[in-house]
Amino acid sequence: MKDEKLGSGTAKPQTRPEHPEVHKLREFLKVTKKIYKLAACLTDEEAEVGLSGRQANLQHLNQLFQHLGIDPDSESAWRQLGEMEQAFTDREIKPQPVIDVPGPGFFTSRVQEIVRGPKSLYAPTVRAVGNISLQEVIMYGHTDWAAVGPRGKDSIGEYLHDVARVMADPISYHLNFARADMGRDYSNDHAAVREDWRIANGRHRSLVARALGVEYVAEAGMDQWMHVTVRE
C-alpha cells in the first residue's frame, strides 16, 4: 500500500469467510422459522387443502426436523427442538468465548495506557470505505477514549471484560448485535467508523479490540463474525 495522505485513497473492500458456528446459527433459525410456520398451517388447515396437501406439508415438516438431526417420529422431537433453541438462547447471555479472555484488571490497565497514548496507533493512509476489518479499527480508529464509561459497572475494566466475552463468542455476538443478519425482526447494532476513522458506533467494542490488540483479534478470528460498517 502506498504512503498516501488521508482522503487521497480508499481502503479496499474485503470479503471474509463466515464462521462455521454463525453459519450453523443462521441455518437453524431459517429452518425453525419454516417448522413453526408449517406447524401453524397444519393446525389451521381448512378442509379444502385436502388429504394430499396435508400429507405434503407433513412430509416437508418431517424433512425439516431431519435436517436438524431430529427424528420426526420420536415423541421427544419437539422437546429436542426446544432444547436446541434454548442452547442458542443461553449463549446470548452466557457467552462461550472461542479464546481465553483476560480478566477485568487487564482491561483497566490497558485503558489507562490507551488514554495516555495517541488516539490511534498509526496515521491512516486511506479513507475508510467498504468492509473494514477489526484490525484496521485497532490501528486507525480514534475517539475520546477517556470518555468511554463503565455503564453501571464498578470499573471500565469490568464492563470491557463482559463485552470482550460476547465479542469472543460468534453466537453470542450475533444474538446481541447482529440479529437482523440472522433474518430476525430486529435491527443490527454493528460497530461503525466514519471515513476519517472516527468511531461512529460501538466505542466499547472498539476499545476492547484496541486493548486486546491486532494479534489477539486475528487469532480469535473475530472478523468472521464481527462486522464494521462505514458511516458518512
Centre a 10 Å sphere on the Cβ of residue 38 and count the other Cβ atoms it contains: 16
* Band of pLDDT at residue 1, cut at 50, 70 and 90: very low
Q: What's the pLDDT score for residue 126?
A: 87
* Band of pLDDT at residue 13, cut at 50, 70 and 90: very low
Q: What's the pLDDT score for residue 4?
A: 31
What is the amino acid identity at position 167?
A: M
Please identify which residue in the block is written with the cell numbers 388429504.
Answer: 51
Distances (CA, A) of 94 to 6, 86, 163, 168, 176: 41, 12, 11, 12, 11
Give pTM, 2 decimals.
0.84
pLDDT at 47 exceeding the cut of 70: no
Summarised one tens digit per residue, pLDDT across range 18-36 is 889 999 999 999 999 999 9
- Which residue would you say has higher pLDDT here, 131 or 47? 131
Are 150 and 159 in contact by the 8 Å Cβ rule? The answer is yes
Summarised one tens digit per residue, pLDDT across range 85-101 is 999 999 999 999 999 99
Q: What is the mean pLDDT of residues 68-89?
A: 95
Distances (CA, A) of 70 to 60, 64, 117, 125, 213: 14, 9, 54, 52, 42
Say whether 32 sits in a helix, a strand or coil.
Answer: helix
